[in-house]
């Protein structure tokens, strides 16, 4: 009967990028790991993503980006999250992310980066680790 605190994750697809198979599959994997996953749908503006994160009180935002624009998108979103006081929300980024960009993303304040090919296990462990 004990209620363990559940991790709530928003999986979001920003911008014009129209491939969400990966995002949906990751959402399923997180569900099976006992998390509550909100999927935003395609073509979200960063304002929509931030507002959704507020209304849904999520612990993690998982951005899925295949368009190559991960650097500017992440930077903008982090600024917007700061403005809205979402300091306790972790931002993670997945999708088509070249390895050389990972340090840059982390420097901006992205908590974890899961480039294409990361196993579900690694994603789940990575997210769980944020709450240890």
Partner 1 sequence: MIRLIEDSDPSAFEMLKLLYPHSGNAFIIGITGPPGVGKSTLIDALILEFRKLDIKIAVIAVDPTSPISGGAILGDRLRMQRHATDEKVFIRSMASRGQKGGLSRATKDAAIVLDAMGYEIIIIETVGAGQGEFEVATIAHSTGIINIPGTGDGIQTVKAGILETGDVFIVNKSDKPDADELVHHLTRMISMRKPFKTNLAKTNWTARVLKTIARDGTGVKELADTFLSHFDFMKKNSLLDQKRKKIEKSYFTSLLKDLILKKVLLFAETSGEYMEVLNKIQSREMDPLSAAELVVNNICVLKSNN
Q: Does 60 bind partner 1 (CB under 8 A)?
A: no
Among 25, 55, 79, 130, binds partner 1 (CB under 8 A): 55
- DSSP per position, 17-82: ----HHHHHHHHHHHHTT-EEEE--SSB-HHHHHHHHHHTT-SEEEEEE-SS-HHHHHHHHHHHHH
Distance separating the N- and C-terminal Cα atoms of the chain: 22
Q: Measured from the CB of residue 57, what is the shortest distance to partner 1 in angstroms? A: 4
Q: Does 44 bind partner 1 (CB under 8 A)?
A: yes
The DSSP 8-state label assigned to residue 95 in this structure reads E
Q: Measured from the CB of residue 13, what is the shortest distance to partner 1 in angstroms? A: 10
- CB atoms inside a 10 Å sphere around CB 11: 24
Give the number of residues in contact with partner 1, rule: CB under 8 A.
Answer: 28
Q: Measured from the CB of residue 8, what is the shortest distance to partner 1 in angstroms? A: 8
Q: Between 48 and 67, name the residue whose CB sits nearer to partner 1.
A: 48
Among 18, 28, 116, 122, binds partner 1 (CB under 8 A): 28
């Amino acid at each position: 009967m004990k209620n363990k605190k559940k991790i709530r994750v928003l999986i979001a697809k920003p911008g014009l990028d129209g491939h969400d198979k990966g995002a949906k599959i990751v959402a399923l994997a997180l569900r099976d790991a006992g998390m509550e996953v909100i999927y935003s749908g395609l073509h979200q503006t960063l304002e929509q993503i931030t507002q959704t994160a507020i209304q849904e009180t999520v612990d993690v935002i998982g951005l899925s980006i295949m368009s190559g624009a991960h650097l500017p998108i992440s930077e903008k979103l982090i600024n917007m999250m700061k403005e809205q006081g979402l300091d306790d929300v972790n931002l993670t980024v997945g999708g088509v992310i070249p390895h050389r960009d990972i340090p840059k993303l982390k420097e901006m304040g992205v908590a974890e980066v899961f480039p294409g090919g990361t196993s579900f296990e690694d994603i789940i462990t990575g997210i769980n680790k944020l709450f240890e």
